């Protein structure tokens, strides 16, 4: 039986969300020994090597000469490859991985505003209900800490706000070149900028601290910033960014599970309660539009 385009996109986003759930955990573990900029720099460098290897294997170097996609890739790189990751990496210095992952779900709400209200994308009623349910889940998470909003939460929230803009340009670039080409250019330029900032702010590290964090940097670079981003770009090439963002809302569950296993951080009752509306929200958003 042939799988439809929408269903393939949903499956790609599902597996991407599983990998992306590791991002706050691996980042936190790597930042135990390394400064944030150094951790981000090596993670993006390893992802650059990963994408470069794929391009060599698939013989797609000629796509780098496709100037029609360059402007969109550069804008997506600035927003997603530099600003978003800087906000997320620094945010994790001042908030927990579980909170950061769940706060990042507010990107669903911002995606709805951008793609449906401004860009006038067609959105079925079921998807609207699903988006509302997921926003309710985010509100539940925020409720117990409204009186003590932390700078880390604000940084992650700002990253979630700008992400839909980057996804718009990334989706447009994907119609002209492959996801590997987009992400190779993105990670290559991002690593240069991040290492320059690290040099500017005189961030230093020792060989021992780098060696201790190497496994986490590799996981972040190859699996999280590498493979998961290929799945993401291919996913939003097949389904709407709004729907993809909402379907990716299972990532915080993965984060909470691994935070408990690797960091001994027990989920709070509010974090667990938030998954009730989020679960049903994902079900609504996974329904294909009826013609």
Residue of 151 and 144 predicted with greater confidence: 151
User: Which pLDDT score is estimated for 76?
Assistant: 94
Q: What percent of the chain has pLDDT over 90?
A: 32
CA 229 to chain centre: 8
Query: Which two structure tokens, joined as six digits, stand for 195?
Result: 């290492």
Instruction: Check residue 39 and give its pLDDT.
Output: 92
Residue 165 contacts residue 119 (beta carbons within 8 Å)? no
Give tens-digit pLDDT for 178-224.
999 999 999 999 999 999 999 888 778 888 999 999 999 999 999 99
- Given a cut of 60, whether residue 103 has pLDDT beyond it is yes
pLDDT confidence of residue 147: 59
Q: Is the per-residue pLDDT at 46 higher than 60?
A: yes
Q: What is the pLDDT of residue 98?
A: 79
Report whether pLDDT(2) > 70.
Answer: no
Residue 51 pLDDT class (50, 70, 90 cuts): very high
What are the residue boundaries of the structural domains of the chain, listed by start?
A: 5-285
Mean pLDDT for the stretch of residues 228-250? 83
Whole-model pTM: value is: 0.79
Instruction: Give residue 291's pLDDT.
Output: 38
pLDDT 10s digits, 53-96: 999 998 888 898 888 999 999 999 999 999 999 999 888 888 88
Distance CA 190, CA 187 (A): 5
Judged against a pLDDT cut of 90, whether residue 227 lies above it is answered with yes
Task: Using the predicted structure, report yes or no on whether residue 132 has a pLDDT greater than 60.
Answer: yes
- In terms of average pLDDT, the best of 9-13, 43-47, 258-262 is 43-47
pLDDT of residue 116: 65
């Amino acid at each position: 039986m042939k799988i439809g385009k929408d269903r393939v996109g949903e499956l790609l986003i599902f597996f991407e969300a599983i990998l992306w759930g590791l991002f706050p955990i691996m980042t936190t573990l790597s930042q135990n020994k390394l400064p944030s900029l150094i951790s981000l720099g090596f993670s993006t460098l390893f992802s650059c090597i990963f994408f470069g290897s794929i391009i060599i294997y698939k013989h797609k170097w000629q796509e780098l000469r496709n100037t029609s996609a360059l402007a969109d890739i550069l804008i997506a790189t600035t927003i997603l490859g530099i600003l978003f990751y800087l906000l997320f990496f620094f945010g994790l210095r001042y908030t927990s991985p579980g909170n950061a992952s769940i706060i990042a779900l507010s990107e669903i709400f911002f995606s709805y505003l951008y793609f449906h209200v401004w860009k006038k994308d067609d959105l079925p009623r079921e998807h609207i209900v699903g988006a509302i349910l997921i926003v309710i889940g985010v509100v539940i998470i925020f409720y117990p800490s409204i009186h003590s909003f932390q700078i880390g939460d604000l940084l992650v929230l700002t990253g979630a706000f700008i992400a839909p803009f980057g996804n718009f340009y990334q989706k447009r670039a994907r119609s002209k070149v492959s996801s590997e080409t987009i992400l190779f250019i993105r990670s290559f330029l991002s690593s240069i900028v991040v290492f320059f900032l690290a040099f500017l702010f005189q961030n230093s590290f020792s060989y021992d601290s780098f060696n201790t964090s190497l496994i986490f940097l590799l996981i972040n670079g190859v699996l999280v910033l590498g493979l998961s981003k290929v799945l993401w770009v291919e996913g939003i090439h097949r389904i709407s960014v709004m729907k993809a963002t909402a379907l990716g809302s299972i990532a915080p569950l993965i984060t909470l599970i691994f935070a408990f296993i690797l960091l001994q951080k027990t989920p709070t009752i509010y974090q667990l309660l938030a998954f009730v509306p989020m679960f049903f929200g994902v079900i609504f958003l996974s329904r294909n539009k009826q013609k």
